[in-house]
Amino acid sequence: MFSKSCEYGIKAALYIASQSLEKRRVKIGDIVRNIDSPEAFTGKILGVLSKSRIVDSYTGPNGGFEISQENLHIITIADIVRAIDGESFFKGCALGLSHCNENQPCPMHNTVTSIRNEMREVLQTTTLFELATGIGNKEFMLAR
């Protein structure tokens, strides 16, 4: 459903959020091990998330990644999707056609519109805090 970059971005942000709840900064190696992702690819994604102010990045001996307690309650999954994939998940054609729109819909356009609207609502109302507390309670896992 999401691009591979977006999947890794969501997993990385959730792992960082779960550790931030415990007041821990995490290194990229910890993230890679816990979400089962390639290090270089994850580094690029973390750069995007940092530039978008979704995660905070610190250098030096006590460096790593964290998310402020305040931002855990504000940042939604939709914010992560937009940071990595832009609006294409919310507005792009389900078949990947460049000319699909309300005036020239593809064969799936009208069917997908209601599903997309529901998904947008879910992603816009689900915060990192909500999902990170589920991970902290061992209800969910991030690696395959």
- 111-125: per-residue pLDDT in tens? 888 898 999 999 999
What does the pLDDT read at residue 139? 46
Q: State pLDDT tens for residues 33-68.
A: 999 999 999 999 999 999 999 999 999 999 999 999
Q: Alpha helices, DSSP H only, in 27-140?
A: 28-35, 39-51, 69-74, 77-85, 88-91, 109-125, 128-136
* Burial class for 50, CB neighbours closer than 10 Å (0-12, 13-18, 19+): middle
State the Cα–Cα distance between residues 134 and 18, nearest whole angstrom: 9
State the Cα–Cα distance between residues 22 and 42, nearest whole angstrom: 22
The arrangement of secondary structure in 4-136, i.e. its CATH architecture, is Orthogonal Bundle (1.10)
Q: In the chain, where are the structural domains located?
A: 4-136
